[in-house]
């Protein structure tokens, strides 16, 4: 059995004090929001407790689906790079960026400097002109396919976009991995289906992404972004594909949002007959300790 852990949207704080010139952008809106509300919702001690509990479960690999930073201040990136290193070495942790990680256009230049090793495929010898995404990591029976839906957007927008080129490469990767008989886990930040969240937060080309899955298939899709427990079923060529989202990994159990949690996916079986059970661990509302919250069989579906 292979155990894959999944957490998302840690929004690591506290924020460094910004310089005035750093707020002459969309960041000023995010900074005010952080000061008024989000710093009470995203708590570093909650994230620390969650990571300690995850480590005690000894997963084989951990997937993080975006939003390490909050408003992409230059000072946030070094701290989040250190956090990734503490979570695990690059061979044991895979990361894909979220919309906050691309909060302003200059933020994307920080990815290579601080997060490169956790966003790189196993056999890639990339140069500056090669596309980073999708990357592929093979771990035992599992293939992790990392996508980026993170793009800079104007103030009050948090939409995502994969783009035609990335989707074409995804199509080819999924076909190849199916031929290899691997359990394909596709990671992206934005939910690839319609959610109760506003259109201002959607994945713009979700239909095109789902068309690739319908043609090529996958065994599991992991995402974040909406900060809620979510399970949707997407069409595949022969069976439905579970798409799973989670609350923020730093969300306080005392707030109005769903509290912090992570999933363990217990993967077993063989090509054409894979089994996968999701075990959810985290805080119940108002709780002070982490417990098992739920178990659900994803493959074959209940």
Q: What are the extents of the domains in the chain?
A: 2-260
CA angle, corner 56, sides to 52 and 58, nearest 5? 120
Q: State the Cα–Cα distance between residues 133 and 96, nearest whole angstrom.
A: 9
Q: Which residue has the tokens 């103030």?
A: 155
What is the domain class of 2-260 according to CATH?
alpha beta
pLDDT digits (tens, 9 = 90+) for 185-214: 999 999 999 888 788 999 999 999 999 999
pLDDT band at 284 (very low <50, low <70, confident <90, very high): very high
pLDDT tens sequence across 131-181: 889 999 999 999 999 999 999 999 999 999 999 999 999 999 999 999 999
Does residue 33 surpass a pLDDT of 90? no
The H or E element containing residue 160 is none
Confidence of residue 129 (pLDDT cuts 50, 70, 90): low
According to the model, what pLDDT value does residue 48 have?
A: 97
At 29, is the secondary structure helix, strand, or coil?
helix
Are 225 and 99 a contacting pair, CB within 8 Å? yes
For residues 193 and 243, what is the distance between their CA atoms, to the nearest angstrom?
A: 9
Under a CB-based contact definition with an 8 Å cutoff, are residues 89 and 33 in contact?
no
- Rounded to 10 degrees, the C-alpha dihedral 86/122/136/132 comes to 80
Q: Say if residues 13 and 42 touch (Cβ distance below 8 Å).
A: yes
Mean pLDDT over residues 54-71, rounded?
A: 97
Band of pLDDT at residue 124, cut at 50, 70 and 90? low
- Grade residue 29 by pLDDT with cuts at 50, 70 and 90: confident
């Amino acid at each position: 059995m292979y155990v894959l852990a999944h957490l998302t949207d840690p929004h690591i704080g506290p924020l460094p004090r910004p310089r005035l010139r750093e707020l002459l952008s969309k960041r000023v809106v995010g900074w005010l929001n952080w000061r008024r509300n989000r710093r009470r919702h995203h708590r570093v001690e909650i994230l620390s407790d969650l990571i300690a509990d995850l480590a005690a479960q000894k997963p084989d690999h951990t997937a993080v689906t975006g939003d390490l930073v909050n408003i992409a201040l230059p000072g946030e990136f070094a701290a989040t790079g250190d956090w990734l290193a503490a979570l695990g070495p690059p061979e044991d942790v895979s990361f894909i960026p979220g919309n906050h990680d691309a909060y302003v256009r200059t933020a994307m230049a920080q990815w290579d400097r601080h997060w490169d090793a956790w966003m790189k495929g196993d056999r890639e010898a990339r140069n500056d002109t090669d596309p980073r995404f999708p990357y592929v990591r093979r771990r035992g029976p599992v293939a992790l396919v990392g996508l980026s839906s993170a793009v800079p957007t104007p103030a009050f927008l948090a939409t995502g976009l994969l783009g035609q080129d990335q989707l074409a490469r995804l199509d080819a990767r999924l076909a190849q991995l199916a031929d290899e008989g691997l359990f394909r886990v596709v990671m992206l930040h934005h939910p690839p289906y319609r959610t109760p969240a506003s259109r201002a937060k959607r994945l713009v080309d979700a239909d095109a992404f789902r068309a690739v899955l319908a043609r090529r298939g996958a065994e599991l899709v992991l995402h974040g972004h909406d900060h809620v427990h979510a399970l949707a079923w997407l069409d595949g060529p022969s069976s439905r594909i579970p798409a799973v989202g989670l609350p923020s990994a730093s969300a306080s159990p005392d707030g109005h949002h769903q509290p912090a949690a992570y999933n363990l996916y217990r993967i077993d079986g063989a090509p054409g007959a894979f089994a996968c059970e999701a075990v959810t661990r985290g805080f119940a509302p108002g709780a002070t300790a982490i417990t098992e919250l739920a178990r659900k069989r994803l493959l074959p579906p209940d």
